[in-house]
Amino acid sequence: MKSGKRYAVAASGQWTDEEDGRRRLPAGEVHAWEPGRNETVCGLSLSRSRLARFPHVGWPETFPESGGAADRVRRVCRRCASVAGRRGGDARPRWYRVRPRP
């Protein structure tokens, strides 16, 4: 995560953990979301897009490498991942200029 911000998750679907029976988890397409705002990091309106909010699930928990809440996540928003940070094996390194012009 960048600059100390804590991003939560907004998703197109939800499911309930069978072991706990009460914990809602994200499913489908997931987006990064700052609690207290009415839009995702990439600019989608939560209500118009019909995205469910998951303030108890952190953004890093949605990646398949993390295990946790990523069991039924089908797609991670690329725009949100570029802003909120992407950690994992398939994360591309940050862009940098190899030979800057004078």
Model pLDDT for residues 66-88, shown as the tens digit of each residue: 776 788 888 989 889 888 877 54
pLDDT at residue 23, as a whole number: 84
Where are the alpha helices (H) located in 1-102, listed in sequence order?
Answer: 78-84
Measured over all CA atoms, what is the biggest interatomic distance in the chain, rounded to whole angstroms? Answer: 61
Q: Rounded to an integer, what distance in angstroms lies between the CA atom of residue 18 and that of residue 38? A: 30
**Which of the four pLDDT bands, split at 50, 70 and 90, describes residue 95?**
low
Q: Give CA separation, 37 vs 21, 22, 44, in Å.
A: 28, 25, 11
Region 27-53: mean pLDDT is: 92
| Token representation of residue 5 | 């911000």
pTM of the model: 0.76
pLDDT at residue 92, as a whole number: 58
Least confident of 27-41, 50-64, 86-100: 86-100
DSSP state of 95: P
